[in-house]
Copies of this chain bind each other. A is one copy, B any other.
Amino acid sequence: MFMTVNTTDLVTQIARQIAEAIVTGKLKPGARLTELQLSRSFGTSRAPVREAARLLESQGLVVSSPRRGFFVRTLTAADLRDIYELRIGLELHAADLAVDRAGPDDIAGLERQIETLYRLADEDSIESQIFEDFIFHRMLCAASGNARLLKVYDGLAMELRAGITLIGKLYDDPHRIAETHVPILDALKDRDRAALREALHYHIIAAQEAVVTLFEDIERDDA
């Protein structure tokens, strides 16, 4: 019995590296992606790089303008507001479905994830917390049992991560992040639809508020 040989497509590999560079902020918003330069850094020709760039474009991480090339996408405050607003609809729907479908392993996974968040609040950087926060919500979407919904969530999360890395901190007390997830999980355990919607809604709105106002301030400074 052999595992499928981990010969991840070169294109996929390149796309992943570029995406990594974008979400970690190594490639700043608006930065130009020169094909030749990228292909040199990967030791390949331009063809796979172009295909990878097209892939990332469809994921919303980069934009392209004909005859001018690819650029790292810049998110505006309005973009972020839309994304969060959509995320609310998406996760509320996922939660509704999860109330009926979430199994013991889903619950257990969410529980462990909250523990992880608490642990990171003590020891680690804010970046890992944000990342693990996304994982928690991803697990919730996965518990909906709807693969397509999860895919859309992943797309939104990717875009958000690209915009959010620049942000230092959202809460004063790092434990707040972990704490705000507890009522969500509790409501799911109780199979209490109304409480779950309420907790989730509040949670995401809070994040939206923090992120959007922060971006609005940045845009005001730029102008």
**Residues in chain A within 8 A of chain B (CB atoms):** 7, 9, 11, 47, 50-51, 54-55, 58-59, 66, 79, 82-83, 85-86, 88-90, 92-94, 96-97, 146-149, 152, 156
Contact = CB atoms under 8 A, between A and B. Distances in A.
Nearest to A56: B58
- Chain A facing B: main interface SS: helix
B149 A89 contact: yes
Contact of A146 (B9, B85, B92, B97): B85
B79 A148 contact: yes
List the 5 closest A-B pairs by CB distance, nearest first.
Answer: A89-B93, A58-B58, A82-B148, A86-B149, A82-B146
Nearest to A156: B148
Contact of A7 (B50, B66, B82, B92): B66
A147 B89 contact: no
A66 B9 contact: yes
A106 to B, nearest CB: 17
A50 B51 CA distance: 8
A202 B44 CA distance: 53
30 contacts: A9-B66, A11-B54, A50-B51, A51-B51, A54-B55, A54-B58, A55-B58, A58-B59, A79-B148, A82-B146, A82-B148, A82-B149, A83-B148, A85-B97, A85-B146, A85-B148, A85-B149, A86-B93, A86-B149, A86-B152, A89-B90, A89-B92, A89-B93, A89-B94, A89-B96, A90-B90, A90-B93, A92-B93, A148-B156, A152-B152
